[in-house]
Amino acid sequence: MENMKSARKDEAGEVGSDLSEQIKAATKENHVRAENTQLMLSYQKGQITVTQYKVLLCSLYEIYTALEEELDRNCSHPAVAPIYFPQELSRVESLQRDLEFFFGSNWRKKVIVPAATQRYEQRIRKIGKQNPELLVAHAYTRYLGDLSGGQVLGKLTQKSLGLSGTEGISFFSFPGVSSPNRFKQLYRSRMNSIELTERERAAVLEEAVSAFEFNIQVFDDLQKMLSVTAETVDQSRSKAAGFQSSPIMQFTVGVCVALATVGMGFYVL
Ligand code: HEM
């Protein structure tokens, strides 16, 4: 047992042999970069706008739909079963409620996502079919993030948008998780119980880095889309004197022009 690396970080701060520790260490720098994207910085300054939040919800809906469909389909795969917690973690229904709150009952027709979101979603679907043992990397990146910094983001969204109650922000609340910290510990121990070959473990760590990068690209695309949208709305306001379009029209027209301008995908469910 002498050679066996400690399950916890030792005093020198070295990373042990547990997947949960290795994945955290492998993605540390990507986490810093994700926190420092324009979108996340707006969040941290308490300056998130309703438009930013709405486009973010659309992308999250697409991402979680893919993730949860692939987790469900692979729920008895030995590398998925230990981290399969649909009751506690599933986000698709809460995202549907939030989208309905902001876009109305025909929200499905209004879901618009940039190309980066489509790439992220396609990657999840591909590994769900070809390498389900890599799904843990994506589940970790999103769910543990939602149970960590995500909890603060929920409060900031509520405050920035002046929302009372949980309407519009059910994405951030996990009624099936009474203590996020204890749940994260359970999740980490389940991750650590997954049996992986050395090659598979390396691939999971690499996939987690990609998962963070996919998120960064989605945030960057959304931000680009919105900066073009803001310009478009400003221009159309000054051009269309006397014509008052509704905010939702401005949002839709603006986002469509933005997607065309920055060459991104246009995707309606
Ligand atoms: C405003 C942006 C963000 C803030 C302020 C933030 C903050 C935090 C904090 C405080 C923790 C807990 C660290 C710990 O327990 O040691 C954490 C953990 C985590 N965050 Fe973030 N985060 C942000 C964005 C993100 C994003 C965009 C992602 C990925 C999509 C993400 C994924 C994670 C993950 C996976 C963990 C768990 C790390 C682990 O314990 O293994 N975070 N975050």
> Minimal CA–CA distance to 52: which of 220, 170, 226, 221?
226
- Which ligand 1 atom sits closest to the C-alpha of 219? 27
Q: d(Cα 32, Cα 79) in Å, to the nearest integer?
A: 28
What's the pLDDT score for residue 237? 54
Is the shortest distance between the CB of 31 and ligand 1 below 6 Å?
Answer: yes
Is the shortest distance between the CB of 180 and ligand 1 below 6 Å?
Answer: no
Is the shortest distance between the CB of 24 and ligand 1 below 6 Å?
Answer: yes
- Which ligand 1 atom sits closest to the C-alpha of 141? 35
Q: Which two tokens stand for residue 89?
A: 């973690």
pTM score > 0.85 for this model? yes
What's the pLDDT score for residue 179? 96
Segment-wise mean pLDDT, segments of 10 residues, the chain, 269 residues: 42 82 98 96 92 97 98 98 98 98 97 97 98 98 96 92 92 96 98 97 98 98 85 57 47 50 42
Please give the distance, rounded to the nearest whole angstrom, from the Cα atom of residue 144 to the centre of ligand 1: 7
What's the pLDDT score for residue 7? 43
Is the shortest distance between the CB of 149 and ligand 1 below 6 Å?
Answer: yes
Is the shortest distance between the CB of 120 and ligand 1 below 6 Å?
Answer: no
What's the pLDDT score for residue 257? 45
CA-based end-to-end distance of the chain: 54
Domain map (residue ranges) of the chain = 19-219
Q: d(Cα 209, Cα 215) in Å, to the nearest integer?
A: 10
User: Which amino acid, residue 152?
Assistant: V
Please give the distance, rounded to the nearest whole angstrom, from the Cα atom of residue 143 to the centre of ligand 1: 10
What's the pLDDT score for residue 33? 98
DSSP string for 56-82: HHHHHHHHHHHHHHHHHHTTTSTTTGG
H or E segment at 21?
A: helix 19-26
CATH of domain 19-219: 1.20.910.10
